[in-house]
Amino acid sequence: MGEVYRATDTKLGRDVALKVFPAELASSPERLDRFRREAKALAALDHPGIVGVYSVEEAEGVHFLTMQLVEGQSLDFLLAGSPLPVEKLIEYAGALADALAEAHEKGIVHRDLKPSNVMVTKDGRLKVLDFGLAKVAASAKAGPTSSELATEMQTREGIVMGTVPYMSPEQLQGKPLDHRTDIFSLGVILHEMATGSRPFRGHSSAEVVSSILRDTPPVVTDARPELPGELARLVRRCLEKDPRDRVPSAKDVSQALRQMEDRPSAAAGISEPAGSAGRASSGGRSEIPGFSGRPAIAVLPFANRSGDPEQEYFADGLAEDLITRLSLWRSFPVIARNSSFVYKGKAVDAKQVAADLGARYIVEGSVRKAGNRVRIAAQLIDASSSQHVWAKTYDRELTDVFAVQDEISESIAASLASDLQRAEHAHAQRRPPENLEAWGLYQRALPHLHRFTREDSAQARALLERAVALDPQFSTPLARLAELGVWEVANSWTDSPERTLNVAVAQARRAVALDPMDAEAQAFLAFALITAGDSAGALEAARRAVDLNPSLPLALSFLAYLLHMTGHPPQQSIDLVQRAIRLSPRDPAEWIFYDALGGAYWNAGQYEEGLAVSRRLIALLPSYYFGYLWAVLNAVGLGQIDEARELIRQARQVQPDLSLALIRRGLGAMAADVDRRMAAALGRAELD
């Protein structure tokens, strides 16, 4: 129905999207009139979930719309064959239903609703795009409008308008359409968000059409038993063959989803019920509270200290948002809101709550509002020892309640994750080896993994392999094995680098398959793929990692590295790493920040900054030769050739067989210009 361009509105100084009507269709007065009517109706829509139409234009015989430019990721990219977490599924589905309800109330039917026409913006908001196949229904005053457009287009052009897997039975059959065709398409999208696959499939379009017309779709709870039963019933009703049997309206769909949101029936990120915690081990000793040996976190309702009952929603919203954000760290199961909120308004004992919920860590907090300022205090308690692991107070001006809530919950989540990691390292070191479960083995492996010696690498591998053997469904240690394989190749610690790298890629893919929502697994898949020379696949996995957990410093740093090394503007990388540092200023693996920044500053020509962070990296990890590499490149950029040569000498003490070929093997795929400039700089430092 047209082509879309990015453009700049020079009068208003904003970027817009231009949707250009095809010349061959513009030659038809009837279709041009329909285009104008449709555009006028769409421009009247004012809803945050629908892309805005600014104007209908014509220039030199070219007809086009100016529209809101939406930046983000399409829903089909975010899904990529993987289901969404329950809370995110309900959130997105509710927003999509709300947008459709608004359009339907204005007499507009989309008729090509599919994940690629749904965008999730950078701030996590959903927008419906491309009403290019929409039928503008006439108002009652104007009388009924022909609803035969799909049949007409099929006759005239030899095609059925729409996208087959998401089309309703009546649309495929060329029957008259109304808003209920969108309800069916919405049901297909809900099914895909819930299970990762579409309900109607086949090896050809004909088989898909046959499936839509005849097959009963699978029940979503068969694929994911933890999904709410109400959601399964809603999806089934949306997918009824006869429009009269479907949910009557998008507004009804929205209301049903809102009710599920108010009383969630699936835990965020929990792989086992709380009752499975605290089982006795084979040796008769009590295991740590948690899930498969992994420590769980319970976020209690934040206390409202304002003396204002109306502030209760802010306190509850903050705790709920924190539960959602923490659930993105897949290594730490998070107790669901409906379990932890039973303690709302009660005086509680952290140890007793932990025992009741099967959690090791308890998050408590309070909110105090005075005038236009709000003070939020939060603390993390290790219930097994009653020790405070972390505590912080935030003072903010309350100009935007939701912006403050987002900022603080993100900051708390990132800080908590960092300090949880520190606490778990200590737990693992104290626990005797014979009593370690998979989680403890994994924690004990991490310090060895990043000491960058052959001996530490071997110890890390042994611990990680034992963890995977104990818990084959635990994706994180498998992903770390993939990371370890890459380091073994980069440091020449393997006699079979090609085989080791192939195994690493396979392990990373297996980790992602085990838990597609594990952002760390996606990040390590990116790490393995870039080393294997697949820059496109690596960037896709890294972006997926950041999409899954925008607050994960590891994912932000990996994406930053991949961007600047594959020729993207290095300032993007610098901004990403600086964001990671702000989120986790006490990160146990802060060296990753300087590793990404050293190369980003060099690519940006900011050699002084690059040399400074590279020196910081060397101080943190003197056995890591890439720290010396970034320092050499930045020193050459500053014209400090003697210092660069001295850094090469120091690097050879760490890596005796250091060479340009080894560095290229370790860095993997690079943009041609980056590779050329690196080789030239290292040549000046007398490394070839």
Examine the domain organization and report whether 8 and 107 are in the same domain: no
Residue 273 covered by a domain: no
pLDDT at 238: 93
Cα–Cα distance for residue pair 466/445, rounded to 1 Å: 10
| Average pLDDT value for residue range 154-174 | 67
Number of CB atoms found within 10 A of residue 196's CB: 16
490-498: long-range pairs with CB below 8 Å, 24+: 490/531, 490/626, 490/662, 490/665, 490/666, 491/452, 491/454, 491/457, 491/625, 491/655, 491/666, 492/655, 492/657, 492/662, 493/454, 493/457, 497/665
Q: Same domain for 183 and 88? A: yes
Q: Do 341 and 447 fall into the same domain?
A: no
What is the rounded distance in angstroms from the CA atom of residue 179 to the CA atom of residue 107? 8
Which residues are designated catalytic? Answer: 112
**Does 533 score more than 50 pLDDT?**
yes
Residue 259 has pLDDT above 80, yes or no: no
Same domain (yes/no): 671, 571: yes
Question: What is residue 132's predicted lDDT score, i.e. its pLDDT?
Answer: 52
Residues 397 and 460 reside in one and the same domain? no
In terms of domains, do 305 and 449 share one? no
Region of poorest pLDDT, from 346-355, 431-440, 666-675: 431-440
Strand 126-128 to 297-299 pairing? unpaired
Q: What is the pLDDT of residue 336?
A: 65
pLDDT at 77 over 50: yes
Least confident of 244-258, 266-280, 414-428, 439-453: 266-280
Any idea what DSSP says for residue 85? P
For 133-193, the DSSP string reads T-EEPPPTTT-PPP--HHHHHHHHHSS-SS-GGG--HHHHTT----THHHHHHHHHHHHHH
Burial label, 111 (beta-carbon count in 10 A; 0-12, 13-18, 19+) = buried
Least confident of 121-125, 512-516, 675-679: 121-125
The band of 423, judged by pLDDT with boundaries at 50, 70 and 90, is: low
Residue 470 domain-assigned? yes
Please give the average per-residue pLDDT across 469-486, as a whole number: 90
| CA 652, chain centre distance (Å) | 39
Which of 670, 667, 615 has its CA nearest to residue 640? 615
Do residues 654 and 569 share a domain? Answer: yes
Q: Give residue 239's Cα distance to chain centre.
A: 28
Question: For residue 128, is pLDDT > 60?
Answer: yes
Arithmetic mean of pLDDT, 417-426: 64
Name 370's bridge partners.
Answer: 373
CATH code: domain of residue 29: 3.30.200.20
Judge contact between 174 and 494, C-beta under 8 A: no
pLDDT reading at 121 higher than 60: yes
Lowest mean pLDDT among 16-20, 202-206, 369-373: 369-373
pLDDT at position 594? 94
Cβ within 8 Å of residue 70, ≥6 positions away: 17, 51, 119, 121, 127, 129
Query: What is the percent of the chain where pLDDT is above 70?
Result: 81
Cβ atoms of residues 188 and 239 within 8 Å: yes
| Number of other residues whose CB lies within 10 A of the CB of residue 29 | 8
Residue type, 611: L
pLDDT category at 176 given cuts 50, 70, 90 is: confident
Q: Which of 68, 96, 117 is the last residue of a domain?
A: 68
Residue 8 belongs to a domain: yes
* Lookup: tokens for 14: 């904003």
Q: How far apart are CA 273 and CA 268, in angstroms?
A: 11
Same domain, 518 and 561: no
Range of the domain at 465: 434-550
Report the CATH number at residue 350: 3.40.50.10610
- Domain presence at residue 102: yes
- Domain of residue 632, CATH code: 1.25.40.10
User: What is this structure's pTM?
Assistant: 0.50
pLDDT at 273: 29
Answer with the residue of higher pLDDT: 441 or 489. 489
Report the range out of 48-52, 380-384, 677-681 with the highest average pLDDT.
Answer: 677-681
pLDDT (tens digit per residue) in 534-568:
999 999 999 999 888 877 888 999 999 999 999 99
On the question of pLDDT at 582 being above 80, the answer is: no
Q: Kindly report the average pLDDT of the chain as a whole number.
A: 80
CA distance 632 to 685: 7
Q: DSSP letters of 291-326?
A: BTTBPPEEEPPPEE-SS-GGGHHHHHHHHHHHHHHH
Residue 268 lies in a domain: no
Judgement on whether residues 569 and 475 belong to the same structural domain of the protein: no
Residue with tokens 């403050």: 404
Alpha-carbon distance values, 531 to 115, 253, 652 (Å):
31, 46, 22
DSSP, res 481: H
Token digits of residue 181: 């065709």
- Can you give the CATH number for the domain in which 231 is found? 1.10.510.10
Local confidence band at 277 (pLDDT 50, 70, 90 cut-offs): very low
pLDDT number for residue 283:
32
Q: Which of 661, 663, 640 has the alpha carbon at shortest distance from 651?
A: 663
Same domain, 233 and 94: yes
Band (158; pLDDT cuts 50, 70, 90)? very low
* Residue length of the chain: 688
In the prediction, which pLDDT does 611 show?
Answer: 96
Does the pLDDT value for residue 9 go beyond 60? yes
Number of structural domains (the chain) is: 5
- 278 lies in some domain: no
Amino acid letter, 86: V
State whether 495 and 378 are in the same domain: no
Domain assignment of residue 191, yes or no: yes
Question: Which ranges of 196-228 does DSSP label H, i.e. alpha helix?
Answer: 205-214, 220-223
Instruction: Please state whether beta strands 361-370 and 297-299 pair in parallel, antiparallel, or not at all (unpaired).
Output: parallel
Instruction: Give per-residue pLDDT as tens, 294-341.
Output: 677 888 988 888 777 767 767 877 787 777 677 676 666 777 666 677
Provide CB contacts within 8 A for 246, sequence distance 6+.
Answer: 180, 183, 184, 187, 237, 238, 239, 240
pLDDT of residue 235: 92
DSSP, res 590: T
Specify the higher pLDDT residue, 389 or 153: 389
Statement to judge: residues 59 and 185 lie in one domain? no
- Paired sense of beta strands 361-370 and 303-304, if any: parallel
Boundary (domain end) residue, out of 550, 566, 587: 550
Distance CA 73, CA 86 (A): 19
Distance separating alpha carbons of residues 108 and 489, to the nearest angstrom: 57
Are the C-beta atoms of residues 479 and 521 closer than 8 Å to each other?
A: yes
Question: Of the segments 34-43, 228-237, 404-413, 522-531, which one has the largest average pLDDT value?
Answer: 522-531
For residue 16, tell me if it sits in a domain.
yes
Model confidence band, residue 38 (pLDDT cutoffs 50, 70, 90)? low
What pLDDT is stored for residue 546 in this prediction? 87
β-partners of residue 322 are none
- Kindly report which listed range (328-337, 388-397, 564-573) carries the lowest average pLDDT score: 328-337
First to last CA, the chain: 55
> Among 496, 526, 550, which residue terminates a domain?
550
